């Protein structure tokens, strides 16, 4: 039993390391694009000035529309009030949209949380990654992820909902099985371990072609 527990701990640790590496790569990519946009700022101004000198107002309008669209792809559209939450959510929202998944997000979080940043990263990252993976099994027009986060008195509340190709999932040994198949699901175990450590609450529900996870974390 001890050897099995050690194997599970090693797999969970490896999964955690891989997850964090992925998150940091996504965040770095987002900031790289933002730095690139700022670097080109002067060039954009020169182009607009040239159009203005020529009186080419239709060209100015088209150029500004193109810039607006480009900026929307790199801007942190969601500002929760907490820096780490902003970074994780915005990187995942950007990833989901690149896969043509519609995302609705409403999040308001305290500036300072007692939940460790690494734990927050693991929880939100796992929930979002699972939602993205499930969404990819659906036609583009049916893909949807809805995120809601808020402070409930002294607790952080999170709700992640995504549509699924399966109308209703059933638990196996008290848990919903991982969509990745046998030998996976360490992300789900890691979330449960973190919630238990903080003496929080987690509830998962599957029905009507949608999967929802709700979490409460004391702060």
Walking along the chain (219 residues) 10 residues at a time, the average pLDDT comes out as 55 58 59 61 78 88 78 63 81 86 91 85 89 93 95 94 79 52 62 94 90 95
- pLDDT at 77 (0 to 100): 61
Q: The domain that contains 209 carries what CATH number?
A: 3.30.565.10
List, in sequence order, the alpha helices (H) in the chain. Answer: 2-39, 41-54, 57-72, 83-98, 117-135, 186-197
Query: Does any domain span residue 212?
Result: yes
Query: Does any domain span residue 203?
Result: yes
| pTM listed for this prediction | 0.64
Query: Does any domain span residue 13?
Result: no
SS (H, E, C) 12-70: HHHHHHHHHHHHHHHHHHHHHHHHHHHHCHHHHHHHHHHHHHHCCHHHHHHHHHHHHHH
Query: Does any domain span residue 25?
Result: no
- pLDDT at 102 (0 to 100): 94
Domain assignment of residue 133, given as a range:
77-218
What sign for the dihedral angle of Cα 179, 185, 191, 196? positive
Query: Does any domain span residue 126?
Result: yes
Query: Does any domain span residue 7?
Result: no
Query: Does any domain span residue 156?
Result: yes
Query: What are the Cα distances from residue 54, in Å, to 45, 61, 66, 130, 206?
Result: 14, 14, 19, 52, 60
**Number of domains present in the structure of the chain:** 1
- pLDDT at 206 (0 to 100): 87
């Amino acid at each position: 039993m001890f050897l099995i527990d050690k194997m599970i701990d090693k797999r969970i640790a490896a999964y955690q390391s891989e997850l964090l590496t992925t998150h940091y790569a996504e965040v770095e990519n987002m900031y790289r694009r933002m730095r690139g946009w700022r670097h080109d700022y002067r060039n954009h101004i020169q182009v607009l000035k040239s159009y203005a000198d020529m009186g080419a107002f239709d060209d100015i309008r088209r150029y500004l529309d193109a810039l607006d669209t480009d900026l929307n792809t790199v801007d942190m559209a969601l500002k929760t009030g907490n820096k780490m939450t902003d970074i994780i959510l915005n990187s995942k929202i950007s990833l989901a949209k690149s896969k043509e998944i519609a995302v609705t997000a409403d999040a308001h979080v305290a500036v300072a949380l007692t939940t460790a940043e690494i734990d927050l990263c693991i929880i939100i990252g796992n929930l979002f990654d699972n939602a993205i993976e499930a969404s990819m099994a659906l036609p583009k027009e049916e893909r949807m992820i809805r995120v809601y986060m808020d402070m409930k008195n002294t607790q952080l509340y999170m709700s992640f909902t995504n549509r699924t190709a399966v109308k209703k999932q059933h638990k196996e040994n008290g848990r919903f099985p991982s969509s990745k198949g046998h030998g996976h699901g360490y992300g789900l175990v890691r979330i449960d371990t973190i919630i238990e450590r903080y003496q929080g609450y987690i509830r998962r529900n599957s029905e009507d072609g949608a999967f929802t996870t709700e979490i409460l974390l004391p702060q």
